[in-house]
Structure 1
């Protein structure tokens, strides 16, 4: 296994783990807080992750593309292409639905945090879970493409 394989596995694996942690641990805890605390916590997480994740997603995509170029003459190249397609689908889902909701959430003050806002945040979480599943499928195809 070469350094590119290790870097790609770490990069996408840690990203998927971080995204899973948001749905499985962070959001359920935040939802138990009062509305003002939910608003503040969601704003803080939304801003922090909103800055870091785009860079991480693009870096992961570039690593997947690099892996595909590196392994272009191998028999499992199609699996690497499928991994890229799923990763791209996750990015598209993010840009078309999750990012706009996140951007609205981080702009709200505590007074703007209503039941409607909470429903929108739960919709975000449902879409986010779909994204996590798509990312996991991408990882599976990537690992299969490497023969791991």
Structure 2
């Protein structure tokens, strides 16, 4: 049963990493290259869409890692799993304190009501998102390492 939990947890975290990697390195550049207001409107729509799903995914991943660490406490590699969990906690804290406030503003913006510094705010979100992606990639790599 522990093996199934390990695999399911690793897959769920891995898919989350893939989505966030895609947001950073595929969707962001695509949206930023669109003409006129289209990019900002795309960012707002993406913020609404992913903003509804990602909290459950991040917290669910963290809960699964916690269960894995607890269930496998006496197994080899638990320290690695706990470290991965700590990185996921860091990603949640970063999200709540730094990224979500920007996203919550951005997802309500239209061409008519966005602030004059909207580009700077989106650029800040993207820089912080790159850091968050690095953190969750590290957590995923640790989970994969714990499987071996």
Normalization by structure 2: what TM-score? 0.92
Tell me the residue number matched to 1:27. 28
1:46–1:106 CA contact under 8 A, matched in 2: yes
Tell me the residue number matched to 2:8. 7
1:83–1:138 CA contact under 8 A, matched in 2: yes
Normalization by structure 1: what TM-score? 0.92
C-alpha distance in 2, partners of 1:72/1:99? Answer: 33
Aligned length: 147
C-alpha distance in 2, partners of 1:7/1:76? Answer: 17
Instruction: Return 5+ residue gaps in structure 1 as ranges.
Output: none
Instruction: Return 5+ residue gaps in structure 2 as ranges.
Output: none
Correspondence 1:118 to 2:119: yes
C-alpha distance in 1, partners of 2:64/2:12? Answer: 8
Question: Could you tell which deviates more after superposition, 32-41 or 18-27?
Answer: 32-41
C-alpha distance in 2, partners of 1:16/1:144? Answer: 16
Moved over 4 A (4+): none
Correspondence 1:72 to 2:73: yes
Question: Could you tell which deviates more after superposition, 71-80 or 119-128?
Answer: 71-80
CA-based RMSD: 1.5
Tell me the residue number matched to 1:42. 43
Displacement of 1:66 in angstroms is 1.1
